[in-house]
Amino acid sequence: MPDIHSSGIVANSQDSTCDVDVAIVGGGFGGTSTAILLARQGMRVALVDIHAVYPPDFRAEKIAGDQIELLRKNNLLETVVGKATPVGSILNTRSGRIVDEREVEEYGIFYDAMIGSLRAALPESVKFMVGRVSELETGSERQRVILSDGRQINARLIVLATGLGDGMRRKLGIERRVVREAHSLAFGFTIQAAKDEPFGFSGVSAYGEKPGNKVDYLSVFPIGNIMRANLFAYRDIRDAWVAELRNNPREAIYSVLPGAQRFLGNFEVISKIDQRVNTLMVSENYLRDGVVLIGDAFRTSCPAVGTGLSRLLTDIDRLCNVYMPEWFATGEVHAAKIAEYYADEEKRACDERAAHAAEYRRSSTIGESLRWEVHRRQHYLRRQMRNWVRQLAPRSRAA
């Protein structure tokens, strides 16, 4: 089969052996974006993935905040959001009341569609290889990626962009430390408004109403001509409520978010409910000659706080624009050089913000102490007051 390039033709490099500067293992968002940025710099790149066409996968379904700025900085925004749906405003609600309404630049798009757009933009110079990696051989000078069908890639550096997959890390002896097992649950499904009650918003978020319900928030936003819902909770996957969500989704949602009915009405779920258990993990013993980890391959995030894609894009930005050009200009890519990337201040700060946000969000959602109750009341009151000020400002200027 052929490579996927800007022409949109799907093909697979059949060379038995190829020599490149960088071999990227994992052709999802991180691996494909990295391949594009490095190829633009004139580096020889091989990208390996088991899928010729990336399949549907319940992962990031909305692009927002600093992710947009990082994509724009690296000239990837138009590529990624070309087939996405703009979300112009978000109505934030809690307990049936409006907390605030914000004008935003956000985009709704399925993860596999994002990968398809990125792969279609791969420069012709990138060798896209469909196959399963069976072995990795690393050293201070050259690295080797061996596929199960015998094809080999010789490279100066291997980038592991394997996400949550553990196989390649284990082959290298890189371990995972669990920070919090089953930290959160994420659900994704498509909804349809009742015939006589069309949705009256571009996007809406309904935040958890009681800590005992253990629900962070429900986010509803458009993707194409459908409305997609993402729900985040801090519950056990074996919880009876999770089973109820699968069997009677609207009733289950309104049992924990009754105020959301004011905005969603008698909606219907018209797709299967995707679910994901999110465990927070961090890699250890990862500093090796000739190998670098990015995104979830290095450290996982909680999707409820939306930092996973931000972390991945920060890793890619620092690695491709700062460190790789320096490393390749000065000889072998050994562990001492790679340590500079892991110690990068921007990367570390982004990782630490994500870790803090994950724990803070969980505690602020389900914490039942007086301290957390006061914190929640103050938080939403401040947001409401800022919203009132924003609404009054145009009137004051007009007067």
Residue 40 forms part of a structural domain:
no
190: left (phi over 0), alpha (psi -120 to 50) or beta: beta
Query: pLDDT tens-digit profile of 31-41?
Result: 999 999 999 99
Tokens of 55: 């399949």
Give me the helix-helix angle, 29-40 and 308-318, nearest 10°.
Answer: 20
- What pLDDT is stored for residue 275 in this prediction? 97
Residue 187 forms part of a structural domain:
yes
Q: Is the pLDDT at 10 greater than 60, yes or no? A: no
Q: Is the pLDDT at 14 greater than 80, yes or no? A: no
Q: How many domains does the chain contain in total?
A: 1
For residues 372-387, average pLDDT: 92
Residue 367 forms part of a structural domain:
no
- What pLDDT is stored for residue 1 in this prediction? 33
Three-class DSSP category at 339: helix
Tokens of 198: 């069309």
**With bands split at pLDDT 50, 70 and 90, how would you rate the model's confidence at 398?**
low
Residue 201 forms part of a structural domain:
yes
- What pLDDT is stored for residue 15 in this prediction? 66
Tell me the one-letter amino acid at 51.
Answer: H
pTM: 0.92
DSSP state of 258: G
- What pLDDT is stored for residue 7 in this prediction? 33
Residue 209 forms part of a structural domain:
yes
Task: State whether the Cα torsion 318-323-324-326 is positive or negative.
Answer: positive
Residue 41 forms part of a structural domain:
no
Buried b (16+ CB within 10 A) or exposed e, 126-136: bbbbbbebeeb
For residues 184-190, average pLDDT: 98
The residue that leads in pLDDT, 200 or 316, is 316
CATH no. for residue 212? 3.30.9.100
* Structural domain boundaries enclosing 241: 182-278
Q: Could you count the other beta carbons within 10 Å of the beta carbon of residue 365?
A: 23
Tell me how far apart the alpha carbons of residues 149 and 133 are, in angstroms, rounded to a whole number: 9
- What pLDDT is stored for residue 12 in this prediction? 54
> Are the C-beta atoms of residues 32 and 278 closer than 8 Å to each other?
no
Tell me how far apart the alpha carbons of residues 113 and 90 are, in angstroms, rounded to a whole number: 23
Residue 222 forms part of a structural domain:
yes
Buried b (16+ CB within 10 A) or exposed e, 157-183: bbbbbbbebeebbeebebebeeeeeeb
Residue 212 forms part of a structural domain:
yes
Considering only 138-142, 284-288, 335-339, 346-350, which range has the smallest mean pLDDT?
138-142
